[in-house]
Amino acid sequence: MSDHSEQELSEAAAQAEALIVPGRACGTCGMCCKIPKIEVLEKPSGKWCVNAVAGKGCKIYETRPMVCRRFMCLWLQDANISAEWKPDKSKMYLSLELSGERLAAHVDPATPGAWLKQPYYDDLKRWAVQAARNETQVSVFIGRHAIVITPERDIDLGMVGEDELIISTKEKQGDRFVLGAEKIKRDDLERHQKQWAAARSRAAMPKL
């Protein structure tokens, strides 16, 4: 099942466990065994892993693959995230992605509106304000269905293909700019980066 040595697997598990906030634990939660796609186990997103045992955990825990050992939801790692966000209660898990550029809430497709409930929606909006200051992104995913949360609005991008990326944009509304988002093809990223670089260069040029 794994191309990694037993020592590598053990070290990965130890590194992940070291990140856990004192007093928090997975317990009987198994949302990470249901919500994400796990390619090495041929598990589709939104379906329970065949190795998950309800109320008990993983039946191959000692030999689970590296991707499972390394995964740690943000609720386990961040004491500032309230107990309400424990995945088996909120029906979603939080993760930092793209090297910290995106805070993502991955929702159980069996409860697709969970992110709209309180306190979750208010928290997402509050984090979106912080993200706007840092030029990062807050997104909700229900399978491949993506909604980008900004301070002013929620942008429903629909289904995002495996060959697509989500990028942040800025749109002028009246006398101010507001954050936006759009889907692009992965192959178009370099072209967009060149356009952004040119736009920044023009903005930096002194006016005569």
175 pLDDT more than 90 = no
First CA to last CA across the chain, in angstroms?
A: 65
Q: Are 84 and 92 in contact (CB under 8 A)?
A: no
pLDDT of residue 207: 44
Note the pLDDT tens digit of each residue in 1-54. 456 666 665 665 566 676 789 999 998 899 999 999 999 999 999 999 999 998
Q: How many CB atoms lie within 10 A of CB 141?
A: 22
203 pLDDT more than 70 = no
Note the pLDDT tens digit of each residue in 81-138. 999 999 999 999 999 999 999 999 999 999 999 999 999 999 999 999 999 999 899 9
Identify the weakest region by mean pLDDT among 17-21, 68-72, 197-201: 197-201
From residue 61, alpha-carbon distances to 43, 55, 58, 65, 113 in Å are 16, 14, 5, 9, 31
pLDDT of residue 2: 53
199 pLDDT more than 60 = no
What is the rounded distance in angstroms from the CA atom of residue 112 to the CA atom of residue 35? 11
Q: Could you tell me what percentage of the chain is helix, strand and coil, using 3-state DSSP and rounding each to the nearest 5?
A: 35, 25, 40
Q: Smallest Cα–Cα separation from 87: which of 76, 98, 96?
A: 76
What is the rounded distance in angstroms from the CA atom of residue 108 to the CA atom of residue 85? 13
